[in-house]
């Protein structure tokens, strides 16, 4: 697995492992297989692990902590997040300094470690100046509990303001062949400031990987509530996916490997989720692919930025992310 540098010289694997689905959202969690998947990823050099205290209300961190016990901890770069809190009604944002201080200690216990390599603010709290949230996170660096800081789903003004308080190592935002909004302003900003970029949902929730073969989603499929998967938009988007898959097949690449290799070619670090060793191994193998310039040009011709129909989130969730 190739190595790359985020901001502040933090070196990570070119493709990381997202651990959200090990706790919820994608079927019944299988803890034993998740742990085997994490161990297999480490052995393949995919040693940048991403989780959050919100995933499974702490379950994802607990699974990662179990997997890293017994000598594996020092073999990985461990990232987690704070700032989203599960409630009886859903989720609320909490970026208050006192919450940050409590959250990190709880994460350290679940992860069974004395430090977190990269600590993100999961969402920016509209009621708390980001300087206050990041200031509290900077105190954790000084205390030795955290080594690097990042933001998730933050816009350019927020990134710039936070970076002035404490140098950021990474900004994490959804980015894929289907979600190219970061190219407008966020990517230019982080590159100018020397901050790394981490891309979550690199398959656009299964749209790009071939998981969805037709327009009939199950009645209990969570994607039915996402505009990109609506009855109006999904047929158009699947036509675009077919173009991508055909291009990938012409070069002998699976859709998933191609989607990841495209992101690596953009100079970002994708963190695909994987709940099984089989999916993890396929994702890891994409690190060896180098897309030729003519293939990158073909992508822009076949599926230019903005080609996919529908927003990535419904309106109420778009309200808590910063697009530019």
| Chain segment 157-172, per-residue pLDDT in tens | 999 999 999 999 999 9
User: What is the DSSP annotation of 175-201?
Assistant: -SSS--GGGTTHHHHHHHHT-EEEEE-
Beta bridge partners of 87: 90
Checking DSSP bridges between strand 90-93 and strand 116-121, what pairing results, if any?
Answer: unpaired
- State mean pLDDT over 203-226: 77
293-302 helix and 255-265 helix, angle to the nearest 10 degrees? 110
Could you confirm whether 55 is annotated as catalytic?
yes
What residue ranges do the domains of the chain occupy? 3-205+262-289
Residue 115 has pLDDT above 80, yes or no: yes
Each residue's pLDDT tens digit, 82-104: 999 988 888 899 999 999 999 99
Helix (H, G, I), strand (E, B) or coil at 170: strand
Amino acid 220: pLDDT: 58
Of 46-55, 74-83, 123-132, 312-321, the poorest mean pLDDT is in 312-321
Each residue's pLDDT tens digit, 126-140: 999 999 999 999 999
Residue 221 has pLDDT above 70, yes or no: no
For the domain covering 3-205+262-289, report its CATH number: 3.20.20.100
Integer Cα distance of 222 and 127 in angstroms = 29
Q: Give me the chain's average pLDDT, please.
A: 94
Checking DSSP bridges between strand 48-50 and strand 17-18, what pairing results, if any?
Answer: parallel
- State mean pLDDT over 53-78: 95
Integer Cα distance of 132 and 208 in angstroms = 38
Report the share of the chain in percent with pLDDT over 90: 84
Which residue, among 18, 4, 317, has the nearest Cα to 172 in the 3D structure? Answer: 18
Each residue's pLDDT tens digit, 288-319: 999 999 999 999 999 999 999 999 998 888 88
Amino acid 47: pLDDT: 96
**Active-site entry in 26, 55, 120, 175:** 55
Integer Cα distance of 267 and 186 in angstroms = 13
Amino acid 89: pLDDT: 83
Amino acid 319: pLDDT: 85
- State mean pLDDT over 93-120: 98
Which range is most confident: 16-25, 227-236, 243-252?
243-252
Checking DSSP bridges between strand 11-13 and strand 3-5, what pairing results, if any?
Answer: antiparallel
State phi, psi for 49 to the nearest 5 degrees: -100, 135
For the four alpha carbons of 219, 222, 225 and 226, in that order, the dihedral sign comes to: negative
The beta strand positions in 88-145, using DSSP E, are 90-93, 116-121
Amino acid 211: pLDDT: 79
- State mean pLDDT over 215-223: 65
pLDDT band at 223 (very low <50, low <70, confident <90, very high): confident
Each residue's pLDDT tens digit, 252-266: 999 999 999 999 999
Amino acid 314: pLDDT: 87
Amino acid 213: pLDDT: 66
Q: Which bin fits 321, alpha (ψ -120 to 50), beta or left (φ > 0)?
A: beta
């Amino acid at each position: 697995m190739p190595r790359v540098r985020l901001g502040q010289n933090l070196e990570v694997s070119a493709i990381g492992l997202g651990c959200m689905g090990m706790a919820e959202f994608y079927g019944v969690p299988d803890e034993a297989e998740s742990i085997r998947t994490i161990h297999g990823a480490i052995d393949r050099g995919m040693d940048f692990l991403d989780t959050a205290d919100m995933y499974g209300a702490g379950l994802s961190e607990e699974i990662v902590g179990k997997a890293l016990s017994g000598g594996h901890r020092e073999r990985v770069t461990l990232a987690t997040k704070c700032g989203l809190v599960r409630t009886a009604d859903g989720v609320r944002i909490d970026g208050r300094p006192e919450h940050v201080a409590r959250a990190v200690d709880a994460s350290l216990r679940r992860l069974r470690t004395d430090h977190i390599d990269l600590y993100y603010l999961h969402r920016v709290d509209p009621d708390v100046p980001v300087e206050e949230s990041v200031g509290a996170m900077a105190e954790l660096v000084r205390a030795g509990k955290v080594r690097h800081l990042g933001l998730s789903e933050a816009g350019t003004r927020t990134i710039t303001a936070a970076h002035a308080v404490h140098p950021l190592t990474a900004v994490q935002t959804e980015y894929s062949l289907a979600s190219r909004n970061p190219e407008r302003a966020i990517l230019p900003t982080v590159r100018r400031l020397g901050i790394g970029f981490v891309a979550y949902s690199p398959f656009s929730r299964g749209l790009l990987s071939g998981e969805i073969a037709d327009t009939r989603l199950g009645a209990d499929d969570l994607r039915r509530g996402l505009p990109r998967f609506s009855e109006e938009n999904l047929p158009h988007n699947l036509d675009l996916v077919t173009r991508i898959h055909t291009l990938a097949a012409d070069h002998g690449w699976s859709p998933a490997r191609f989607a990841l290799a495209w992101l690596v070619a953009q100079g970002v670090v994708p963190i695909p989720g994987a709940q099984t060793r089989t999916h993890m191994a396929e994702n890891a193998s994409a690190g060896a692919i180098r897309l030729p310039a003519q293939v990158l040009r073909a992508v822009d011709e076949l599926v230019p930025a903005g080609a996919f129909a529908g927003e990535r989130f419904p309106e109420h969730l778009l309200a808590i992310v910063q697009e530019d």
